[in-house]
Structure 1
Amino acid sequence: MRLTPFAALTVLTLAAPWAGACAASADGPQLALPIACDVGRTCGVQNYVDRDGGPGAFDYHCGHRTYDKHDGTDIRVPDMAAQRAGVDVLAAAPGKVVAVRDGVADVSINAPGAPSVAGHECGNRVGIALGGGWIIDYCHLANGSVAVKVGDTVSTGQRLAHVGLSGQTEFPHLHFSVRHADAVVDPFAPGPVSAPTCAAQPGLWAPAAAQALAYRRGEALNVGFSGERASMDAVEQGAIATPKATSSLVAYARLIGLEAGDVIEIGLSGPDGKVLARDALPPLDHDKAQWLAQVGRKAAPAGGWPHGTYAAQVQVRRGAAVALSRQWQMVL
């Protein structure tokens, strides 16, 4: 989403660039991971900053994991069950809180009767000044979870709020936006955002965060087993039917960041290691922000499913290479 700086917020107006507890330098701040999750397991990057200055969109890696004019990094949690459990949003660098909004409901913009988010597309929000003209915005925070107020000084790693579903969003995530002198900065590649090339350059992330956020051309956001055919809404809500000895048995994987031409293969094996079901989808006809793959058996065998460990695997083949692979298990 594109932000309007500090619209309709509680705001601290600065007479001059704040210089206290400053993590910024001439080359920019060093940023820690702004969310308490395991990237690639319990969260994933859904969208990066759009680096195409025109009507198209491409990310810092010359991929398409972004959309036109997107001005931040979206770190997504797996589902609403994870969001309701509470995932901490953390200060990526020390600074002073200069803007706060709370009280916006956690409602998907696709929900029936969803209220207008005009003027507060960022939803519940914390803005932090780092000094030297650097500002970080943390958006889509959970209603009632904001733990700081305007004027507070925060340290790296301090909890600011929880990930939410407030503002202009369809899924729970943190929209993390960096600006310098009111210009968008891509923390993965802090050169000019509209640069037409994707040459490698040092990012703003601290080493541990840079390693955790290493670019992935697709991720398995959710994997699991269900006692019935899964739906995208059931996966999003964390409302998957638990498999039983006499129910259907389905392995599912929700994948994000897929590309045109990708071939998705998914399989399910029983306790004896024999394949119960396997499927390979036709090549994708265009890029997919998310895709639900699943395979299984509609009916249990006579006497029910044998007790033991069931295993599943999903792979995404991109050309001759495996671009993504994930395995998971369940004891039934």
Structure 2
Amino acid sequence: MGRLIAIYTALVLILGGGFIWLLAALLYPGEVSRPTEAMAPETVLSQVSEQAPLDLGGLEPSPLPLSMPLSCDPGVDCWPLKYVDLDPSKGRRDYQCGAMTVDGHKGVDFAISDPRRLNRNEVPVLAAATGKVVGIRDEMPDVNIRIAGKASLKGRDCGNGIRIDHGGGWVSQYCHLKRGSVAVKAGDTVVSGDRIGLVGLSGSTEFLHLHVQFEKDGKVVDPFVGLGADESACGLGKAPLWKESVLRSFRYSAPLIQASGIAAEAPDTLGVSEGKYTDPKISPDAPLLVLWTDLYGLRKGDRVSMRFTGADGAVLAETDWVQAKSQLRTFKYIGKKARQDWPKGNYRGVVQVERPSGPGKNHAVQKVDLKID
């Protein structure tokens, strides 16, 4: 069985003088893509990625079968961005022995593709297992922590959240929910799949996402590993908590091209997290053009290249490198200053990330096409 290729393409349609984005996903059975997101009304972004087949044979039954914790299209508009830190020291290591975590991280963060979805109330949070609600918080504002500041939290890093007791010592917790969206109260019984809130930006967070964590007798359990696993091993445990359907949907995503785009100014990570460059209004007299990319989970030896071409096909800027060390987030942009008005036509950015070997072996390509009229 050869490598399966998942292709995701964002298509733009013109209706009545306005733009409506249609995200089309074509995938082979059992395979999950990388995220794709239309970055502007006149931009088409597509991504192709390759992954080895996922073998789930021989897994033992889960002691707490977990379903999807949020309603989204895995690999298209949501994906794991951080995993549980399994390194007991000051280092960090996710379940695939990668860098997709931070020191002491206790749960799994599921990122959402477009920060504007916060205001559209589009991403429901779901109970991953049946249980009794034992605590909620629902009054904290949805503000990027880089703007609000740590002092505003007063120890409430989870933000708006829900804690559920599943019996037998098992507890789950959901964090960073949207203010006013919590749909349950303490004492309520929820069933797996019930809507309990909306993904938000409350608490200690810089981007729209859901943090969910699971505990057994007060000890954090990685849902991709389960109980009794060798903490030094790489890969899924013998009895992960997630149901098989979730494991297939949320494949290990590293290296991950979180997003890419074309802008008419030097971008920064705060602007990317807030969607500042999601709808760039680029005119022919823009002072500069840049191609930017936001990468996660690079390891030492990963190969990255960026190439930005103009309307005539000539190269405006390009770079490539071999990653020198493991890093959770790598933000990079390249570009060119204008000497005169930019020629009208199609501009293209291509970002490629290749992991030639080891856990997460993969090759991903993301293309961004922008038309200047």
TM-score (norm 1): 0.80
Alignment partner, residue 92 of structure 1 = 128
Gaps of 5+ in 2: 1-59
How has the CA–CA distance of structure 1 residues 257 and 135 changed in structure 2, closer, same or farther, with 3 Å as cutoff? same
Alpha-carbon distance in 2 for matches of 1:195, 1:63: 13
After alignment, is 41-50 or 76-85 more displaced? 76-85
Q: Tell me the SS of whatever aligns to 1:85.
A: coil
Query: How many Å separate the matches in 1 of 2:356 and 2:317?
Result: 20
Does the Cα contact within 8 Å between 2:86 and 2:92 map onto a contact in 1? yes
Distance 1:206 1:290 in 2: 29
Percent identity of equivalent pairs? 34
Q: Distance in 2 between matches of 1:112 and 1:140?
A: 14
Q: What code does the residue aligned with 2:330 have?
A: W
Matched, 1:295 2:330: no
Aligned equivalents of 2:191 and 2:242: distance in 1?
Answer: 16
Structure that is richer in strand per residue: 2
Contact 2:140–2:179 under 8 Å retained in 1: yes
Q: Is the 8 A contact 1:77 1:83 kept in 2?
A: no
Q: Distance in 2 between matches of 1:73 and 1:258?
A: 18
Deviation at 1:215, TM superposition (A): 0.7
Task: Say whether 1:29 aligns with 2:57.
Answer: no
Q: Note the alpha carbon deviations across 1:219-273, whole angstroms, 9 max, x for none.
A: 111222222232222211111232223323333221111223434211234566x
1:124-273 equivalent positions in 2, closer than 5 A = 124-192=160-228, 195-198=231-234, 200=236, 201-240=238-277, 241-247=280-286, 248-270=288-310
Which of 47, 57, 63 lines up with 2:82 in the alignment? Answer: 47
Unaligned segments of structure 1, at least 5 residues: 1-24
> In structure 2, what is the Cα distance between the partners aligned to 1:39 and 1:53?
30
Name which of structure 1's ranges 293-302 and 88-97 shifts more when overlaid on structure 2: 293-302
2:73 maps to which residue?
Answer: 38
Letter in 2 for 1:205: W
RMSD: 2.8
Structure 1 residues 145 and 194: alpha-carbon distance in aligned structure 2, compared to 1, 3 A threshold: farther
**Deviation string for 1:72-103 (max 9, x for gaps)?**
11112245433333322222223222211111
* Separation of aligned partners in 2, 1:278 and 1:192: 50
Contact 1:225 1:242 (C-alpha < 8 Å) held by counterparts:
no
Q: How many angstroms does 1:64 deviate by?
A: 2.2
The answer to whether 1:316 aligns with 2:356 is no
Gap change, CA 1:206 and 1:54, over 3 Å in 2: same
Number of the residue aligned with 1:325: 365
Counterpart-to-counterpart distance in 2, 1:243 and 1:224: 12
Rounded Cα–Cα distance in structure 2 between residues aligned with 1:194 and 1:98 = 31
SS in 1 for 2:119: helix
Letter in 2 for 1:253: T
Report the Cα distance in structure 2 between the residues aligned to 1:211 and 1:217, rounded to whole angstroms.
15
What is aligned with 1:74?
109
Structure 1 residues 26, 282: closer, same or farther in 2, change over 3 A? closer
Secondary structure class of the residue paired with 1:148: coil
Offset at residue 150 of structure 1 (A): 1.5
Question: Is the 8 Å Cα contact of residues 141 and 162 (structure 1) preserved in structure 2?
Answer: yes
In 1, distance between residues paired with 2:149 and 2:65?
41
Shift of 1:114: 4.8
Q: Distance in 1 between matches of 2:66 and 2:339?
A: 51
Note if contact 2:62-2:242 (Cα within 8 Å) is conserved in structure 1: no
In the alignment, is the contact (CA less than 8 A) between 2:99 and 2:327 conserved in 1? no
**What residue identity is the alignment partner of 1:120?**
R
Partner of 2:344: 306
Q: Which amino acid aligns with 1:260?
A: K
In 1, the alpha carbon distance for the partners of 2:151 and 2:114 equals 21
| CA 271–38 in structure 1, closer or farther in 2 if over 3 Å, else same | farther
> What is the CA-CA distance between 1:177 and the residue it aligns to?
0.4
- SS of equivalent residue, structure 1 residue 290: strand
Q: 1:112 deviation in Å?
A: 5.7
* 1:102-117 superposed matches below 5 A: 102-111=138-147, 113-117=149-153
Q: Residue in 1 aligned with 2:4?
A: none
Matched residues in 2 for 1:236 and 1:184: separation? Answer: 28
Cα distance change on mapping 1:328 and 1:35 into 2, 3 Å: farther
- Residues 206 and 69 (structure 1), Cα distance of their counterparts in 2 relative to 1, 3 Å cut: same
